[in-house]
Structure 1
């Protein structure tokens, strides 16, 4: 380990810059976007950086620190003076982090070559984690507050369809998933565009089942994929950061894999038997309880949920549900939606 003062000064400056950038992203994720998963991922990076820095003497960094003689403190650019939105704040911070980690890797070679490999691995991890977080934080911050998710098809005439979802959005439905296996692409896009236009003045949003192309074409907020559909990585490569990506999961391993791959939310089920879909196995409320304890991203219980069993879902620790028949088959769908939403808020 060297006493090279210049190397220690460079290491200290880049360590501070990296830690500050991570803290900035973590705070936006936690306090602005209220995205617990992103905040946790960045916090873990920050702690990993701290662990690497603890392998070298802190007093060497502090002794070399001198902002008074730093020739760059007065240097600034117009781009640094303003940020357009929270997304640009996160993007700038992410760039600072990755650049600083690359510098740290070089400077560790001078002061402590033995610790360089750990820093190199941290840099590679940060590339993936920060890309995932930046994409997640670009999407609309509606998702973390959403609780009631309704699957809907294209069977109703278009005018009736838009009137129907408008009433249900007012009644408390947060998310609508356009899911109709029998509809062609043109019909899905037409109904999707009508839905996004109808929901524009509300806090509710539209998600499209399976079809990333349809979701992008109609301006939906997200796309939902199953275990046998397009992968999260492929969906993200097409959608970039413009869509939420939700994933159906049927056990804890799938739920954890979806979260690790960058899903914005997951569906967990089937919870109970359903009139709309047949299943051989029912993970039930035990799965909800385990997932609620282990998963940070929003999770929605799905499968046969209605007024007679929603309390069991809430008792498992899950306060988000995806339903279909419980609302569509009700005598008064809007009242059914209000009742389910109230049950989730208790």
Structure 2
């Protein structure tokens, strides 16, 4: 029995060939097929996005250059069924991937064509840098993927009996004009909404990082519209006879606050990208795929912006963050924590490496009582399970601990997640991952952690973060009463300390001294 490839799988293979040529690669490679699967609108692309793997991440990981011009549909052979034997002949470099795809299809209980999802399975199960990278992304495991494929392959349905017949009518020039009109209106709506959000980020939130992400989305819009054709959009525009321009509601002219204005435009741009994606399918598959990517990127941007605003309010009064360890405390952690809270510490982290789980649980419950009585925030270091057990307000993780996504699944949506960062790339990523605040450092040499001399991020890192990130962050690492002013001058509005308070004979007094050095 000869197996056929679906139209989506055929498009992906042809697109991979074009990507290899555009990248000036000596031959077609697995990474070119991976990029093609993410680029094309297909089942494989949906699976990749479901596991938070986007085309931009693939392009960053592998030396790939997308074609500048859209594919010529006249030369596309996807109208004719393509057999596996033909694909093996045309794409010998992908032989093992195609064979793995065939093996997966052969397990189906019903006749099944080789689809884009089976090509993705082939990529995941063949050796190479592409499969190693895919598996390193976290949730895209062969076991989970195979179960998904098996369930999909076993789903079959009988044709539905209907008492009417569909009549296929050829597309007319008027139909296409109306499609272009719709795309033009949605593109204008998207462009306008993006500008409003960008101005908010620039002049109100003052966040250079998120503003740059928004600019990237605007550039992506321009790229997608190249596939549509700007001349066709302009020629089809008919604002004078657009019935929508004369219809309005009272709510359109009401904006109760800056945040309300922001949220209205975030929803506006998301709705516009959905319209562009759906109507774009009638004109250009490439454009529709880009619009889809933009829509998901805007969801992430919305989360990052609103999370930033929410956490700015939540941590507004938290200038000084105490990381408490029993071994560092002069008179024990109890007096240190209580005196520091009384003097104005707004957030405390339990950072114990030597206690057993039971000891840590008991200790955590005591600290929870003290912080709750003082109206302060309690964070558990590294242990989301114990954070839930003692009813802490959140958990803090480092670069080598559980990622934000997995921590969120354990602690839920209400508790906070802090992430330690040591360079500007990690800080930017923590914002997009959904961190509620970040630690920035190490700023100075510290007695609580060992770092090589070249690993100190220093004051320059503080300046970088201060210049572009408004998600709440704390400078950390070796900060004391003598050098706190340097961190503040570099742009830190919040700092985290440990031994400076814990080891002090009078924790309350040193806490007051530290707080007095903050402006205002």
TM-score normalised per structure 1: 0.72
Pair 1:230-2:230 in alignment: no
Shift of 1:43: 3.0
Three-state SS of the structure 1 residue aligned to 2:313 is coil
Three-state SS of the structure 2 residue aligned to 1:206 is strand
Q: Equivalents in 2 of 1:132, 1:206: separation in Å? A: 23
**Residues 163-202 of structure 1: matches in 2 within 5 Å?**
163-169=338-344, 173-181=345-353, 182=355, 184=358, 186-200=361-375
Partner residue in 1 for 2:487? 313
Of 92-101 and 65-74, the range deviating more from structure 2: 65-74
Shift of 1:254: 3.9
Q: Deviations over 1:143-184 (max 9, x none)?
A: 366432111257889985774353132xxx342222233263
Shift of 1:104: 0.4
Shift of 1:323: 0.6
**Residues 117-128 of structure 1: matches in 2 within 5 Å?**
117-128=289-300
Of 176-185 and 85-94, the range deviating more from structure 2: 85-94
Query: Cα gap change, 1:269/1:166 in structure 2, threshold over 3 Å: closer, same or farther?
Result: closer
**Residues 1-346 of structure 1: matches in 2 within 5 Å?**
4-19=176-191, 22=194, 34=205, 36=207, 39-40=210-211, 43-44=214-215, 47-48=218-219, 51-52=222-223, 55=226, 56-57=230-231, 60=234, 63-65=237-239, 69-70=243-244, 73=247, 94-110=266-282, 115-135=287-307, 137=309, 139=311, 141-143=313-315, 146-153=318-325, 163-169=338-344, 173-181=345-353, 182=355, 184=358, 186-200=361-375, 204-216=376-388, 218-275=390-447, 277-283=448-454, 287-293=458-464, 296=469, 297-345=471-519
Q: Equivalents in 1 of 2:212, 2:417: separation in Å? A: 18
Instruction: Give the greater-gyration-radius structure (CA).
Output: 2
Gaps of 5+ in 2: 1-172
Gaps of 5+ in 1: none
Shift of 1:289: 0.6
Contact 1:289-1:318 at 8 Å conserved across structures: no
Q: Equivalents in 2 of 1:44, 1:312: separation in Å? A: 33
Contact 2:441-2:457 at 8 Å conserved across structures: no
Question: How many residue pairs end up in the alignment?
Answer: 335
RMSD: 4.5
Shift of 1:226: 1.6
Q: Equivalents in 1 of 2:257, 2:415: separation in Å? A: 18
Contact 1:272-1:284 at 8 Å conserved across structures: no
Q: Equivalents in 2 of 1:28, 1:198: separation in Å? A: 38
Query: Cα gap change, 1:278/1:223 in structure 2, threshold over 3 Å: closer, same or farther?
Result: closer
Q: Equivalents in 2 of 1:193, 1:61: separation in Å? A: 66
Contact 2:304-2:431 at 8 Å conserved across structures: no
Contact 1:192-1:218 at 8 Å conserved across structures: no
Three-state SS of the structure 2 residue aligned to 1:237 is helix
Shift of 1:235: 1.3
Q: Equivalents in 2 of 1:241, 1:30: separation in Å? A: 28
Contact 1:233-1:261 at 8 Å conserved across structures: yes
TM-score normalised per structure 2: 0.51
Q: Deviations over 1:35-83 (max 9, x none)?
A: 8377436633653465347642597289333586229946899xx9999
Three-state SS of the structure 2 residue aligned to 1:338 is helix
Q: Equivalents in 2 of 1:67, 1:166: separation in Å? A: 66
Larger RCO (CA within 8 A; separation ≥ 6): 1
Of 20-29 and 99-108, the range deviating more from structure 2: 20-29
